[in-house]
Amino acid sequence: MKKFLFKSLIAMVIASVFVTTWSFLMPNKKIAPGVQYTSAKNTEAESYKKELQSQYDKRIDAKVSEELSGINASIQSNLLMISEAISVYGCNSEQVKKLVEVKQAQDELNKVKVAEIIEKYGWLGADRIGAQNNYTLYTVIQNADFVTQEKYLPLMEQAVRSGSLAPEHFASLVDRKAMVQHKKQIYGTQFCNDPTTGKRIFAPIIDAENVSKRRSEIGLASIHFYAQQNNINYSFAKGNS
């Protein structure tokens, strides 16, 4: 009897080892519900992580949006005061000069704040912080010094390709920067007046024959379409290449 019980116990142990081994080797079989349960737990954990990340992003977006709204308010306030001072005292008045100095100081503070935002969170798109706040990011960098612009232009180009920055804003900054440096523009966003006819024309464009290709690469319409929108004869643009 004891031998029988001993043999039965050995058989049960062997069967248990077999089932465990089979469950490990064949995870898709019904014999291994533990593996499926683990998979379900992993999926649940991933879902929980995504939810936590989403909540974190929302808090960050709200915080950044509030800060950018304040920056935009300061920009608009300074511009309004300067505009009013010009209408009352004239462009070259001491009052206007002082207000311009105040604006420049505020622009420097805004640049520091925006740089901190970008360094921490990257270039946040309109889908996260709203169109106006996204535009404020661009405006502050646009008004910054060349060193700051150069630093963030690669990031801004990435933002354009990911849909976090409007391509016309990026192109406009690149072209204006080129013109200030007395270089030809790249995307054909800037105009000037023809010295002979007085008509508005495109400012000189580098490699104008391929400008539409460059525009297309960042999501802009062709130079022909852009010319029509602005009532410009494209032949003037060709002559400026």
pLDDT in tens, 1-15: 544 434 444 444 444
Do 141 and 156 contact (CB within 8 A), yes or no?
yes
Average of pLDDT values for 168-193?
A: 96
Question: DSSP 3-state helix, strand, coil percentages of the chain (rounded to 5)?
Answer: 75, 5, 20
Q: According to the model, what pLDDT value does residue 166 have? A: 97
Q: Judge whether 132 and 67 are in contact, CB under 8 Å.
A: no
**E strands, the chain, where?**
191-193, 200-202
193 has pLDDT over 60: yes
**In this structure, what DSSP letter does residue 233 have?**
-
Residue 209 has pLDDT above 80, yes or no: yes
| Half-sphere exposure of residue 144: CA atoms within 13 angstroms, side-chain side | 23
Greatest CA span in the chain, whole angstroms? 119
Q: Terminus-to-terminus CA distance in the chain, angstroms? A: 105
Mean pLDDT, rounded, for 111-123: 97
Distance CA 90, CA 139 (A): 26
Tokens of 202: 């495109």
- Calculate mean pLDDT across residues 164-170: 97
What are the structural domain ranges in the chain?
61-165, 166-241
Mean pLDDT of the chain: 85
pTM (2 d.p.): 0.75
